[in-house]
Amino acid sequence: MSTRTSPQTASAPGKVILFGEHAVVHGRPAIAVPVTQVQATATVEPAPSGSGLTLIASDLGQSISLAAAPRDEPLAVAARLTLAHLSSFEPDATLTVSSTIPIASGLGSGAAVSTALVRALAGFLGHTLESAVISTLVFEVEKIHHGTPSGIDNTVVAYEQPVYFVRGHPVERLTVGAPFTLLIGDTGARSPTKSVVEHVRRTWKRDPARYDALFDQMGDVTDEASRAIEAGDVDALGPLMDENHALLIELGVSSSQLDELVEVARFSGAMGAKLSGAGRGGNMIALVEEDFAEEVTEALREAGAVRVICTRVTTTE
């Protein structure tokens, strides 16, 4: 194994969940796709002998040595897991991460930062890790952010492919029969996934029959959407998104802001819309024909979206 003397840079995309959030924590399927318009980047550069590994989060203006980092510091956890996986010594290097992915808004920022870090550090140590290995390492870091993550974020971000995901099952890459366009509208309200997931778990425990039935319905919608995506039946996806949003309202994870943006998107020409991710804040997504993208974007902005990202969902080789 050889430590590089030249800087190593790696990146990872953001993501959105198209169908099945929350239900996926409870064993039902979900669909997620990478969002390459936002990215996390990690660079590892050689440092003087004996200096050890320094971790820098440039967006936050934070710098800490690996040796001094708390046990549960996410960057340090990702670095330690990578070194342990490679049975490597701690290199003398500076590892800098930065990201254009908004945090706590359902765009997979934590998973992307960890993925970029693992890739760059492994590269610096002369290794290229497989997506499955990266996903497994990042899952361990995700537990710090999420408590009981389903594993969908680390999977879609590490594989950089649309995925059909069921907790505990091998990942299934989804073939996109006909590319389609999504708008991602940010409410600007931060919403920590962990607390929303915990809230859902508490309500489920109080009335398992009712909530299991909701999760089953979400699972059925996801399965139907997966068939439509593979068949290139884009027209079928809009109503399925609407249906999924209605179920998420019933689950109690939407918000007036999310409902407003979803309504505005539909009214201004989207084929369907729903919240995406944990809910209570964060982002919503709208399916649009390309000709309507600008009009719907404008309407979302006027209705208070702080950012609208336009992304094209397709299968990449």
Q: Which residues bind ligand PMV (CB under 6 A)?
A: 17, 21-22, 24-25, 106, 146, 149-150, 152-153, 193, 197, 277-278, 282
Q: For the residues of 5-52, what is the DSSP string, one character each?
A: SS-EEEEEEEEEEEE-TTGGGGT--EEEEEEEEEEEEEEEEE--TT--
Contacts of 178 (CB under 8 A, 6+ apart): 232, 233, 234
- Closer residue to ligand PMV in complex, CB, 146/274: 146
- Cβ atoms of 157 and 312 within 8 Å: the answer is no
| Residue ranges of E strands in 25-150 | 30-46, 53-57, 62-65, 93-99
**Residue 216 falls in the annotated catalytic set:** no
24 vs 308 by CB, closer to ligand PMV: 24
Q: What angle do CA 22, 179, 28 make, to 5 degrees?
A: 20
Query: Contact 241/285 with Cβ under 8 angstroms?
Result: yes
**Smallest distance from the beta carbon of 193 to ligand PMV, in angstroms?**
4
Residues 148, 155, 21: CA angle, nearest 5 degrees: 55
Nearer to ligand PMV, 134 or 184 (CB): 184
Min CB(165)–ligand PMV separation in Å: 9
* Nearest Cα residue to 134 out of 150, 113, 148: 113
Minimum separation from the CB atom of position 29 to ligand PMV (A): 11
CB 82, CB 121: distance < 8 Å: yes
Shortest spacing between CB 239 and ligand PMV, in angstroms: 22
Marked catalytic residue, from 59, 153, 220, 233: 153
**Is the CB of 24 or the CB of 229 nearer to ligand PMV?**
24
Which residue number is nearest to ligand PMV in terms of Cβ? 277
User: Given the complex with ligand PMV, which of 96 and 150 has the nearer CB atom?
Assistant: 150
Q: Minimum CB separation from ligand PMV for residue 11, in Å?
A: 19
Residues acting as catalytic residues: 153
